[in-house]
Structure 1
Amino acid sequence: MALFSLLSQINSSNTNWGVRARLIRLYKQPSFTNKDELGSLEMVLHDEVGDRIHATLRAPLYERIGKDLTEGKLYIFRNFIVVDNMSTFKTTHHRHKINLFRKSVIREFQDENFPSFMYNFTEFEQLAPQNQPDARYLIDVIGRVNRQLSCTLWAEYINDLLPYLENSNDDEPVIVAIQFARIHQFRDQDVKVANTFHVTKVTVNEDNDVFKAFKKKLSINDTGDFKMVTSSNYDIYDDLANGKAKFRTLAYLNDHQDDDTYWVDATIVDIQTPRDCWYLACKKCAKRMIEVEEVPQICEFCGFENPMKIFRYKLDVMVVDSTGSAVFLLWNKACASLIGQTAAEMKESHGDCSNAIPKVIEDAVLDKRVLFEVRGSSFKTFKGSANYTVSRLAYDDEIMELYTRIYTGNEDTTTDEHGNMTEMSSNSNSAENMDSNKNKLEKGKEKCSPEVDQEPNNGVQINDEDVEAVNNETNDAPVKRTNETLINANTDPVKTFKRRQVVVKKEK
C-alpha cells in the first residue's frame, strides 16, 4: 500500500489508510441530548487533486487530537474508519465519510505546492428550477447582495451580515460567500439557498484572492448575473423549533387582551389603509414630518436635525383565520419584508401614494398567509374593529413547513373559539362554515377604519416593535426579506380563508 492515498481510493476494506488533506471546514456539532455540550467535531477535507470528504471526531477524542485543528491548514490523517456517507444533507459528493477513533493520528505538515480549494462555487444558473438541483448536497455560492438569488439566513448568520448591509453603498458592494448552503425549492417555485446549522459559514467582503477575483469579474461583466438577495432578520426559527412560540386564534386574542405575546396564523385579505402607506419620518423618533425641499430638516416633535429624507411604511391590514378577523398594524420592518422593497424605493418608483395603494403592494400582501407575533396588550378598538400591532412576522417556506409539522400535524383538526385544538367532524357542513366565515369577513370590513393617520407614538421614545431605528434606510438601502413568492392577488379571500384550517397548540 502506498504511503498516502487519494480520497478517491479509500474504502471500508481496512483502517490503515493515510491521507494528506487541507482542512476546508471545521465546526462543532452539539450533543443531541444537551445542546450546550460537544457531540462531535465535524470536518470537511480536500486532497491534492481537489476531491473532498467529510470526517467526524467524537467528543471524547477532542482534547487529544482535535482541539488544535485550524481551518485552512494541512494535515496528515492516519488510521481511520471508512463508512458510507448516510447524512441527510451531505457536505461532499464522496460516497464515504471518515470516522476517527482512538487509534487515529492527526499531524500537521507544510507543503507550499499543495493546492488550496477552500471554495467550490455553484453558478446561479445551475440553480435554476429547470436544472433540478440536488438538494441533498450542500453548496458554496458567492454573490453581490441585491435581488437575484433568494438566500435565507438565521440567528447569528444574519447578525454577522447586518452591519455590512446597513453601511453598504453603491461604490463598495457587499460581497458574500456562503459555504455549505442548503438548496431549497418549495414545489415548483424558484430555488433559494439557506444556512444549515452548524456547518454553514458566511464570509463578507474578505480581502483575499477569491473575493478579489469575483470583484474583477463584476467589473468586467456587471450584468446582474451574480447578484444575490439575503434575508431574514427575524430570528424566530428557534422559537418554533423549541416549542416556545404560543399560537392562538384571533377569537382568543379578541377575548383575552392580556399582556402576553402570541403568534397567530392568519391570512391578509384586505388593506385598510386607503392612502399614505409610507411617510417622511424622523430618523430619531420615527414620527411623521411634513415633506419640504430643505435638508437638513428639524423634527418638530423631538428636535432632531435630519440630514437626509427617510421614508417609512405604515399599513393596517385585515386578517382572518377560521375563528374571526382583526386589523393588524404593520410598521416599516414588517412591511418591507412582505413587499420586498424599502419605502424609499417605493417612493422613488411611485412618487406618492396619496390617492391609492400601488398595485405592487397589493400583489405582495393580499391573500398572503403569514405567522404574526402580536402582544395582547397592544389591543385597541378603532371604529369598532379589533386592532393589534405586529412585532414580528414570518412567511418563509421553511418556517411554514416547520410550523405545520410541529404545531398543526393533523390536517383534520381545527380550533374552537378559545383557541383550543379540536377534531373536525368528517361530515361537517363545509358550506355552512364558509358562509359563517364570509359573514365575519364582511362584518369586519364594515367596521374597519377607512383612513388611518396616527403617529407612531405620543412622545419622543418609541417601542421596539414600532420602529426599526431606520436601519440607515436611504434611497439605496438594500432590501432584507424572507421570501419572494407572491400569492395570486386575484384569489378569492373567502376561498383562501376556507382552504386553510389552522391548528393551534393547546397551552398546558
Structure 2
Amino acid sequence: MSKAVVGGVMETGLDDGLCFDQLEVGSSMSIVVMVCRSWDSDNVHGRYISTDYIFSDRNGDSIHATARSNVAHYFVDKLKEGCLYLLKNFTVVKNRPAYRILKDSQYMIELQGSTVFKKVSVDHGGFERYPFQIVQFEDLEVTNNKYFVDVIGYVTTADNVSTTSTGRRMLEFNLRNERGGHMAVTLWGKLGESFIAQKAKKAGVYTVILSSMTVKQYLGSLGLSSSSATLIIDSNNIPLLESFNASLRGVDLRAETQPARDGPHAVTTIAELLQSARQDKKKAVVFRNSIQITGIRTKNSWFNFTCTGGRCRKGVTRKDGSFWCEACDNAVYFPRARYRLMVDVKDMTGNVVVVLFDEAGEQLVKKSAKSLLDEQEQSTNSDDMVLPEALRCLIGGTYMFELRSHTYYQYGEYESFNCAQVLLPGSANYASPSSVDDILDPAAVPALSSPVKKAPQFGVVTPDKRAEKRSSNLDCTGTDSEGVPGKAQHGLSMDVKSGSDVGSEVNVVPGKRLKKVTGGEAHDPVEGTSQLIMDPLSEQEDDVDDKDSGGDSVAGTVGKKGVHTLLIRRMKSDLLAIRQRMP
C-alpha cells in the first residue's frame, strides 16, 4: 500500500488495502476506516465500561469496534466522526453473542493500548457515512438482548418524562411510519430529556432515526426500548431522512390522540386476574380495586439489604465477612434496607399473595424501611422483633392495589403478583370505596375505609432491674409506666438537671418527693447535687413503698434510715444506663 505524508496528514492509496470482508480472527494488517459514530457504553448498573465506534470501509461495509475503559482514553476525542484513519495493531474477534450492535456482522474490532491510528486524506468515495440497518415495523421481533435494531419514523405523541415505581426516569411516545404502522417507544434516563429538547427545536413534523434499540414485549404488545448505545438522529442532511420525509408527502399527518401504549384490559376481582394470568401471563390485564390484607408473611423477613452502587438494587449476600453484590461483583459497605413485604390479601372471589417492593411499600406504610428498622431496634416489645407495629396494624385493613398480570408467579402452595402501586385517595386511578361494595365481603370487612392506625406505643428505654417486673419512666411525677406511684423506684422520684452530668445531680431521700429549688430556699447536704426540696410522700405512696421494700434489705432497712451510699450508687448507675440507651 503506497503512502506519503503531506502537511502532517497521511495520503495513501487503497488499491491493496484490507476490507472488512477479508478480516479473520487474528488479522494484523493495516486498514483505512471512516468513523461513522461513537458513544460511551454503560452496563445495566450505570457503570462506564467502554467507548464504542461504528467503522465503515471503502466498500461501504460496517463493523463494530470497541475500546475498553482501561484504554479508551487513547482514542476519546481523537477519533473524530466523519474522518478517515489508518489503523493497525488492533485485534479482530468474533462478534458478541448478545447485545450485538450489528446483527449480521461476523466479527468486531477491539482497540488496544498498542493500537496505532493516523488520520489520512483519501477520496471519500465508497465510505458510508451513515450505515444504518433500518428494520421496518412489520418485521420487528423480540430481540431477547441478542442484538440492536435501527428504526425510522415520525413522532405523533410525546408526553413529559415520568418516573417509574423503581425510580427510573422514562419517556414514552408513539413512532409511526409512512404506511400507517405505529410502535410504542420508551427512552430511559437522560435520553428522554435529550429527546424532548431536540424535538422542541424542530418545527412541524418531527422525523427521527433511533439507532441501537431493543425490541421487547410488554403487556402483550411489542415495543422499542433504548439502550446505552442508542443514538437519536434528526439531521435533515442525512440522505435516509430526506428520502423518508419525501415518502410522507400525501400521508395524513394529523396529530394522533391515541396513547403511546394501548391500555390493558381491566378486571375488578382477584378471580378474574388469576384466570387471565394462568392462561397467558403476557396478556395485558390490570387489576385496580380494594382488597383486604389478612396477614403478612415473615418467613423471608419483611425487608432486604440491597446494593447502593449506581442504579443497582439487587439484594446483597455475605462474602469474606462483608456484604457482597453478585451483580456488581463488589463489596457493599453501606447496604440500603428496602421493603419486600409479602402480604396475604382477599376479596369475595379469592385470595392471593401480593409482594410490595420498596416504593410500593413506602406508599402503603408511609415510612421508609430504614425508619422501621430504627424503631424496631429501640422497641422493648418482643412482637416488634418479628414484625414492627406499623406493619402489624395493616392487617385487617382494606387498601386499593394495582396488580398486573405479567408479574404472576406460582410457588408451591401460593400464587402471587407484584404490586405496581398503592392507589391513595386523590390519585388519578383511585376509585371510591363505595364502588367496590360487591367485591369485598361485607361480613369480613365492615367498613371499606382503611382502619384508624394507632400511633405505635414504644416503651421508654430503661436499664435492667434486678427483681422488678415493671419498667419506670423517668419523669417528675413519681409514677411508673403503668401509673403506680413510686413502686419501681422504692418511693423515690428523680429530677435531673438539664445539661448536667448524670449521676451527680440527684439527691435521694427515702419517703420524700424531690423538686428543684428555684432560689436559695434549701441546702442539699450531698456535695455536687442541685438544690432540692424534699416533700413528704402521701399515705398511699408511703404504704406502697413499705409493702414493696419489706423484703429488700437495702430499701427496707438502710433506705428507712437515710441516704445510704449503696442506694446512691445504684441510682447513679441506673441513670447512667438510661442516658446511654436514650436516642
TM-score range (shorter-chain normalised) is 0.3 to 0.5
With structure 1 as the length reference, what TM-score do the two structures score? Answer: 0.45
Structure of higher CA gyration radius: 2
Comparing both structures, which one devotes a greater share of its residues to helix? 1
